[in-house]
Amino acid sequence: MGKELTIRSGKTLAEVAPLLEGEEEIFLVYDENVSWAAAEVIGAVPGVRGSIAIDASEQGKTMDTVLLLCRSLLEAGADRKALVLAVGGGITTDLAGFAASIYKRGVRYANIPTTLLGQVDAAIGGKTGVNLDAYKNMLGVIVQPQFTFLCADTLKTLPERDFRSGVAELLKTFLLSDAVRYGRAVRSLSRGRRGLQGLILGAARVKARIVGADPYEHGERRKLNLGHTFAHAIEHEAQRRGDDITHGEAVSMGILLAARLSEALGLAENGLAERLKADFGACGLPVDCPYPAGDLAEAMARDKKAEGDAVAFVLPVRPGTVAIRPLDPHEILESL
């Protein structure tokens, strides 16, 4: 068993202060798009010694930015007692967590995610890292944050499309967990954002429990890749064609393709794909993949060569249950 992951929440950002009591060397790394949130944290937390703003873009999620962060820490006099506090979306928490984990052989870090995707996914589980050339998240480490602080109030400035991207990961997490909470999340999200804080905390705890049982992804943690084999292929295709599809949109389409495949293989309960399509659609997510299955299989096969293994598909059986099957991407084509 791994260690318990620390998830805390508050109605306002100021409520993070007690978690940082006694810390005298806090270095904030924040996304410049949420400088207002950084200012609120600085106002409430006495131990902030310095702050570094970053431009959160996938192109800037590189080793160069990590080096820049490390240099800034060094110049600010950060020593081994330092705590790096990330305020921003997944790009910011990935960059800050990685920089902290290698600076002076590792100082502590904590996350205040400001995107829904960060709150239910990226800021939990300790995976940190950066892109290497065209390869996403190629360099990184798994080091757990001191805590992840969840505050739905930070989402008030998040653009709707980024919000929905996080909804896909939130639904994915509850789909892995159990039928009751999955159903409740769908009903709630199809009506709007009320009750969001509870849903975020619930999903974050589910992810924390899965990761806590398998921090280095030897077994249980692989479940979290539900929909992602298809999603990564969809994202590759979108990039190749110059289309604009967010990660969450690709995950939504990917989960539905996985459900169809699962039904075709006789694993999923009858009608699961149709039900999920209605649920995800009701929550404002795209459900039909615009690309032919053949193109997706090609993209997966290229990925497979890169990894040298069979592709492990996570297939939904019913809410709360998945099966993992190694399959040849070309063989799945007939099922879709």
Contact range with ligand NAD by CB under 6 A, out of 6-14, 153-161, 191-199, 325-333? 153-161
Within 8 A by CB and 6+ apart from 6, the residues are: 145, 146, 147, 148
Active site residue 164: no
Active site residue 236: no
- Smaller CB separation from ligand NAD, 121 or 279: 121
Among 23, 25, 169, 249, the one annotated catalytic: 169
With 0-12 / 13-18 / 19 or more C-beta atoms within 10 angstroms meaning exposed / middle / buried, residue 334 is exposed
Q: In this structure, what token pair is assigned to residue 16?
A: 């993070």
- Contact (Cβ atoms closer than 8 angstroms) between residue 84 and residue 108: yes
Q: Check binding of 127 to ligand NAD (CB under 6 A).
A: yes
Among 122, 206, 208, 276, binds ligand NAD (CB under 6 A): 122
Least distance from ligand NAD to the Cβ atom of residue 70, Å: 19
- Read off the tokens for 108: 């502590």
- Which amino acid, residue 236? H
Minimum distance, C-beta of residue 77 to ligand NAD, in the bound complex (Å) = 28
Given 3-state DSSP classes, what are the helix, strand and coil percentages for the chain, each rounded to the nearest 5? 55, 20, 30
232 carries an active-site annotation: yes
Read off the tokens for 39: 């200012």
Q: Is 17 exposed, middle or buried (0-12, 13-18, 19+ CB in 10 A)?
A: middle
- Our CB check for ligand NAD shows the closer of 164 and 277 to be 164
CB of 134 to ligand NAD, least distance (A): 14
- Catalytic residue list contains 330: no
Site for ligand NAD in 157-176 (CB under 6 A): 157-158, 162, 165
State which residue, 176 or 273, has the beta carbon closest to ligand NAD: 176
Is residue 169 part of the annotated active site? The answer reads yes
The reply on whether position 94 binds ligand NAD by CB under 6 A is yes
User: Residue 199: helix, strand or coil by DSSP?
Assistant: helix
Output the 3-class SS for 287-323: CCCCCCHHHHHHHHHHHHHHHCCCEEEEEEEECCEEE
Identify whether 221 is a catalytic site residue.
Answer: yes
Shortest Cβ contact with ligand NAD: which residue?
90
164 is written with which tokens?
């929905």
Residues in contact with ligand NAD, total (CB under 6 A)? Answer: 29
* Contacts to ligand NAD from residues 22-61, by CB under 6 A: 31, 33-34, 56, 58, 61
132-161 CB burial, b ≥16 within 10 A, e <16: eeeeeeeebebbbbbbbbbbbbbbeebeee
Query: What is the smallest separation between the CB atom of 94 and ligand NAD, expressed in angstroms?
Result: 5
Contact call for residue 90 and ligand NAD (CB under 6 A): yes
Q: Is 207 an active-site residue?
A: yes
Backbone torsions φ then ψ of 315, nearest 5 degrees: -115, 125
Catalytic residue numbers read: 105, 127, 169, 207, 217, 221, 225, 228, 232, 247
Q: Which residues bind ligand NAD (CB under 6 A)?
A: 31, 33-34, 56, 58, 61, 88-92, 94, 114-115, 117-118, 121-122, 125, 127-128, 136-137, 154-155, 157-158, 162, 165
